Chains A and B, each alone.
Chain A
């Protein structure tokens, strides 16, 4: 029929035109996730959806609390770490995620 009809989708599976593509290319890689309440996660990405709900494996969570010394006004960073073998993370707490950590750069 007429060639002016609908074009087939030009989207290739491995382009980076959609922000979520960046996350898709990070599947099965270790990623960094920043969450609300000064929480950070590092873990292997097994699943995600459009809400940024995620399932991560071998996760380390780091919570950072800042305490200000009354006398010297110095900021003291205190971190607490927890580990989880397999963790579902609800997307509404996520601020940002970053692709695989490169060991050297």
Chain B
């Protein structure tokens, strides 16, 4: 049922960049994701470490789902056709429940 949770679980182990609502970009490897789309990243880096020295000593982090604006995904790891199929399926299911 939770389409995006299922989708992000298929991306575990892949590299991606999370863009937060405060404009911070965090690049890292996806460790895990939960139903709220909270995200754990490993081997993180930020584009401008001098500006954010606190990130120099941090290797992995947990990001609350609600502070995320975008996630830049690796296009080679995403299959648009199966995503669209899954979306249609979920739209049908939620309609049945109404």
Residue ranges of A at the interface with B (Cβ–Cβ < 8 Å): 9, 11, 13, 18, 20-21, 24, 27-28, 44, 46-50, 53, 55, 57, 84-90, 92-93
> Are B71 and A88 in contact, with the CB atoms below 8 A?
yes
> Are B73 and A55 in contact, with the CB atoms below 8 A?
yes
Residue ranges of B at the interface with A (Cβ–Cβ < 8 Å): 2-4, 7, 21, 37, 65-66, 68-75, 78, 80, 83-84, 86-88, 90-92, 94-96, 98
> Are B80 and A46 in contact, with the CB atoms below 8 A?
yes
> Are A24 and B70 in contact, with the CB atoms below 8 A?
no
Q: In the complex, A11 Cα to B93 Cα: how many Å?
A: 12
Smallest CB-CB separation from B94: which chain A residue? A50
> Are A86 and B75 in contact, with the CB atoms below 8 A?
yes
Number of A-B contacts (CB under 8 A): 73
- Majority-rule SS of A interface residues: mixed
Smallest CB-CB separation from A9: which chain B residue? B96
Q: In the complex, A89 Cα to B75 Cα: how many Å?
A: 14
Using known A-B contacts A9-B96, A55-B78, A85-B75, determine if residue A27 contacts B69 with beta carbons closer than 8 Å. no
Using known A-B contacts A20-B91, A87-B70, A90-B68, determine if residue A49 contacts B4 with beta carbons closer than 8 Å. yes
> Are B96 and A47 in contact, with the CB atoms below 8 A?
no
Which B residues lie within 8 Å of A9 (CB)?
95-96
Q: Which 3 A-B pairs have the closest CB atoms?
A: A88-B71, A85-B75, A86-B75
